[in-house]
Structure 1
């Protein structure tokens, strides 16, 4: 029997190793495999050859159970990507064993040596069967002929790794899927799954309970899935769809080995792609689907109501309470709600007792799977439901609909939402607001409160201290949530009474602050808002779900009286205009500028095309592009048009310098579309090329409008003369040409001739070639009293191109 772990060892070392292993198998840190006759137990692990991944026993969260799993070896913390025995944990690892069985299967034995998990792979009689952990995180079992007979990528848990092809095995008929953990402490299968549609259209779907589909990726177009962010790009990842006689599956691979990413369906039903940021040592979201958590089916469980505008999005209806208060405290809502009082169902056995009644709930997304009846009126519908002991609710919207089981997928809608209706939910009469029982309870509580007033006054000082302490603890917990609602006093404390000003503009001033966990933030005090508080909160929560590596993250907000403040992540690299135009700043090299340009384009494309509703920035300029410490570009001040409202154009045109970035639509009064951002982006490209403001003065004092000069030079083919002289000509001529041509296309006078930001990204990524642009007519108008650079081009007609929106790329 061959138990040698390292080739080339001497016979004596082999014998000593065999002797010790027979007593207690020791962990060999360099081993990446498990052979027949070897076992893994206790804290022993195997590590992939490159050192990226590790396999062994682990305990998730606060659990006391142990599981065999695979996790990242080089990343702090323990990010688990695969679990073997997710339904059958073991309680003692010192006597549990993971080993290759005599028939070639990988098995996990508990302390009683009873198998609790098996790979169920094809039996192999070879004594050379081995389990190997690959550098991709894939655990494979190979027989004596080095043929893979089983792999963990064919049996994913909640994570899809690069190289894992998720779909249908047409030979075995087995459908591969990912399934959420029950919660962060329990990797047992939860209610949410993700998989390819096996016999339907070629798209990825998310399901609740294996049946209800609540999100679709869109049908594979032959190159990408419409709703999967990043599938159109081949810079970092390549998406592939396979459909042959053996299988139908989708996969993604990494083109840059330094890009660490994983795709997970979490316990709340959201599909997230994460990527590792080495500089901050944390995972960040690349995309999340669906964008709105309330779009996840049964997000709040049975009889739970999802409310996207609340910090805790799930609540129970009147007359209900959480089925598991412990789970709800940890924001795990799948257990749903239960009735406080059982229904009487027409039974009035006690004298004077009332039967069941209905609570009116307005502007609700009605539950799924109703039973529709043909009844003449709402009163008939109510009576029918009341006479049916199984009926829990009804609605009458043109026809009668009743629900006889658990009510799921309830959502509180608001004035701006569509599809809402009035739901009548059945309650015991004593649970209805205003019932006699409720009045007695209120009176009893009131008397109790009055009786305790003296005691409360005596403890007032202690209560104030306890309140302040709880507030500090709450703030610390809230820092990790998606959106924090601050009080004005909180932000005064965070910013040291707004003492460190970072800058100011037409929308207000920005101050630096530090949260309780030492996270630095930027606090913007908005000015000129005339929105009501409800509308402001609605818009803020819409912006809060926007998460992209090239968009500044909104951390929180404050709305008190007339005060409106937004809290963003702090960008230590400052704004792009500082690095471009300040003499004392570090000169940005061309490679860095090109990456900044690509980052800005990706951020704007996300806002235009990947959000639930298109978000037009309306003020794209270097001042509103921030850089982190790694000079990753992030678009800032997005969504200001939604928050400022109808006064936005007035604020915009009063900002010094902004007028040079405004598209002609602003001046002519035409409808504003996302193409105004494309125009501003084009104007900003010229400044990134030259390192100067577009409107400058020459040495002789005459004014030069750089875009007009640049457009002329592009047509003449004299590209390098436009480049920032501080770069000393060190730049990729192909990239400079691409950016110059693209800038000219972006500032065409007719918005129909400008590319979308999605196409801009593809051009910058090299997917599409950009053709020679015409000289935009608007440049002559803007420069007629500043420069005569266009005069010698009398043979060139300075007018818009023919009305063909696709002329800008080849």
Structure 2
């Protein structure tokens, strides 16, 4: 049994919980929610859906999109494979997150390249207000894409609209956000896959090809590992060492830091004045200099942003008047982002691979001159 799209054929992989079987040969019969190997022999179950109750007179249909749908006698869908993806994300599939219930549809990696049982990695959306793709390793953050600005995920080097042609974020208006994927060029098949090593790759197949061509993948650099340089540290894959403290900060644990263990991050060198001058200018307050906002460009913005629907000027003013606000950023495709806690997972984009300095690769951090 195979999944064919145009003149491209790919084996269909079905994953249910932690048990996976690749169905390559013809299937004998379908009984209720179970695939049977041979109707004439002893009925050996190859695969079973997770439908909680038995469904009488059910039927299964493999749609043109590759979605395997199980329906009851009334034609109502009781289970579909697109709601239970394995490691692959094809056109017309959705990766979702529900704000009210917290339920997600995630990709799950294989244990190894040849072992399709459940691996250590999963991938999907992590935010509703500021959608981002996360990859988790054993439920801990492993990679973060940065927010979606209606064109790209702004924390991914070298990502442009051509790279992610067909990706989109859709809000159903009822608390669910979907990451969707569709491609206009039907002469080839394109898909995403989460590898057993935790890399999310986009590949393309054309007629006559057995193996796809990998077009793009994340994480690509060691710096893209989540929180590589700890709080208030930034990572630059082209520097040695790759981790450094933000301006005005020093290593929290110098001994560990200079041994290459950067996870403890950095601490502020001077305490913040954090008082706004009554006339609104950033001037002297009681004989001391007021805090200013230091512009950091060509950067992946930190994790854990708070989002608000404000203009760029309102965004700055809101952060300036709140002593708890440590940084802010504004993007026309996202809105106002502000940070009140540790700034974590900051990466400096490689030369030639950053976002526009005037929109997506800039944030401003409260700084004591």
Give the structure-1-normalised TM-score: 0.27
Report the equivalent of 1:291. Answer: 220
Q: How many angstroms apart in 1 are the aligned matches of 2:167 and 2:224? A: 28
Report the equivalent of 1:613. Answer: 350
Q: How many angstroms apart in 2 are the aligned matches of 1:400 and 1:615? A: 32
Deviation at 1:182, TM superposition (A): 1.4
Deviation at 1:231, TM superposition (A): 6.6
Which residues of 2 match residues 302-317 of structure 1 at below 5 A? none
Q: How many angstroms apart in 2 are the aligned matches of 1:269 and 1:141? A: 31
Q: Which has a greater percent of strand?
A: 2
Match of 1:134 among 63, 80, 99: 63
Distance 1:245 1:293, change over 3 A: same
Report the equivalent of 2:94. Answer: 165
Q: Which runs of 5+ in 2 are unaligned?
A: 229-236, 245-249, 262-347, 357-369
Q: How many angstroms apart in 2 are the aligned matches of 1:99 and 1:272? A: 35
Match of 1:264 among 193, 209, 216: 193
Distance 1:74 1:257, change over 3 A: closer
Match of 2:108 among 159, 171, 179: 179
Deviation at 1:150, TM superposition (A): 1.4
Q: How many angstroms apart in 2 are the aligned matches of 1:141 and 1:171? A: 27
Report the equivalent of 1:534. Answer: none
Report the equivalent of 1:120. Answer: 50
Question: C-alpha root-mean-square deviation of aligned residues, in Å?
Answer: 4.8
Deviation at 1:221, TM superposition (A): 2.5
Q: How many angstroms apart in 2 are the aligned matches of 1:240 and 1:153? A: 17
Q: In 1, are the aligned partners of 2:188 and 2:207 still within 8 Å (CA)? A: no
Which residues of 2 match residues 271-420 of structure 1 at below 5 A? 271-278=200-207, 282-292=211-221, 295-296=224-225, 399=253
Report the equivalent of 2:258. Answer: 421
Which residues of 2 match residues 28-47 of structure 1 at below 5 A? 45=1
Report the equivalent of 2:125. Answer: 196
Deviation per CA, 1:765-800, whole angstroms, max 9, x where unpaired?
xxxxxxxxxxxxxxxxxxxxxxxxxxxxxxxxxxxx
Q: How many angstroms apart in 1 are the aligned matches of 2:69 and 2:21? A: 23
Q: Which runs of 5+ in 1 are unaligned?
A: 1-44, 54-72, 300-307, 310-361, 367-395, 403-419, 425-610, 617-673, 676-810
Deviation per CA, 1:523-576, whole angstroms, max 9, x where unpaired?
xxxxxxxxxxxxxxxxxxxxxxxxxxxxxxxxxxxxxxxxxxxxxxxxxxxxxx
Q: How many angstroms apart in 1 are the aligned matches of 2:192 and 2:12? A: 9
Q: Secondary structure at the match of 2:82?
A: helix
Which residues of 2 match residues 96-107 of structure 1 at below 5 A? 100-101=30-31, 104-107=32-35
Distance 1:85 1:112, change over 3 A: farther
Q: How many angstroms apart in 2 are the aligned matches of 1:109 and 1:282? A: 28
Distance 1:399 1:239, change over 3 A: closer
Q: Is the radius of gyration larger for structure 1 or structure 2? A: 1
Q: In 2, are the aligned partners of 1:141 and 1:149 still within 8 Å (CA)? A: yes
Q: How many angstroms apart in 2 are the aligned matches of 1:157 and 1:135? A: 18
Deviation at 1:291, TM superposition (A): 1.9
Distance 1:81 1:208, change over 3 A: farther
Q: Secondary structure at the match of 1:83?
A: strand
Which is worse superposed, 162-171 or 273-282? 273-282
Q: In 1, are the aligned partners of 2:169 and 2:177 still within 8 Å (CA)? A: no
Match of 2:14 among 57, 78, 83: 83
Aligned residues: 253
Report the equivalent of 2:135. Answer: 206
Q: Secondary structure at the match of 2:8?
A: coil
Distance 1:89 1:614, change over 3 A: closer
Deviation at 1:196, TM superposition (A): 0.6
User: Are residue 74 (structure 1) and residue 21 (structure 2) matched?
Assistant: no
Match of 2:145 among 211, 217, 241: 217
Q: In 2, are the aligned partners of 1:194 and 1:207 still within 8 Å (CA)? A: yes
Higher relative contact order (CA 8 A, sep 6+): 2
Deviation per CA, 1:20-76, whole angstroms, max 9, x where unpaired?
xxxxxxxxxxxxxxxxxxxxxxxxx3x56xx439xxxxxxxxxxxxxxxxxxx834x
Distance 1:166 1:401, change over 3 A: farther
Deviation per CA, 1:671-730, whole angstroms, max 9, x where unpaired?
xxx99xxxxxxxxxxxxxxxxxxxxxxxxxxxxxxxxxxxxxxxxxxxxxxxxxxxxxxx
Distance 1:293 1:243, change over 3 A: farther
Q: Which has a greater percent of helix?
A: 1
Q: How many angstroms apart in 2 are the aligned matches of 1:52 and 1:201? A: 33
Q: How many angstroms apart in 2 are the aligned matches of 1:180 and 1:294? A: 22
Report the equivalent of 1:150. Answer: 79
Report the equivalent of 2:360. Answer: none
User: Are residue 253 (structure 1) and residue 90 (structure 2) matched?
Assistant: no
Deviation at 1:399, TM superposition (A): 3.5
Deviation at 1:615, TM superposition (A): 3.4
Deviation at 1:148, TM superposition (A): 2.3
Give the structure-2-normalised TM-score: 0.54
Q: How many angstroms apart in 2 are the aligned matches of 1:259 and 1:137? A: 15
Deviation per CA, 1:497-519, whole angstroms, max 9, x where unpaired?
xxxxxxxxxxxxxxxxxxxxxxx
Q: How many angstroms apart in 2 are the aligned matches of 1:232 and 1:156? A: 25
Distance 1:123 1:295, change over 3 A: same
Q: In 2, are the aligned partners of 1:130 and 1:143 still within 8 Å (CA)? A: yes
Deviation at 1:287, TM superposition (A): 1.5
Deviation at 1:280, TM superposition (A): 7.0
Q: How many angstroms apart in 2 are the aligned matches of 1:278 and 1:90? A: 26
Q: Secondary structure at the match of 1:613?
A: coil
Q: Secondary structure at the match of 1:254?
A: coil
Distance 1:154 1:169, change over 3 A: farther
Q: How many angstroms apart in 2 are the aligned matches of 1:126 and 1:139? A: 18
Q: In 2, are the aligned partners of 1:81 and 1:159 still within 8 Å (CA)? A: no
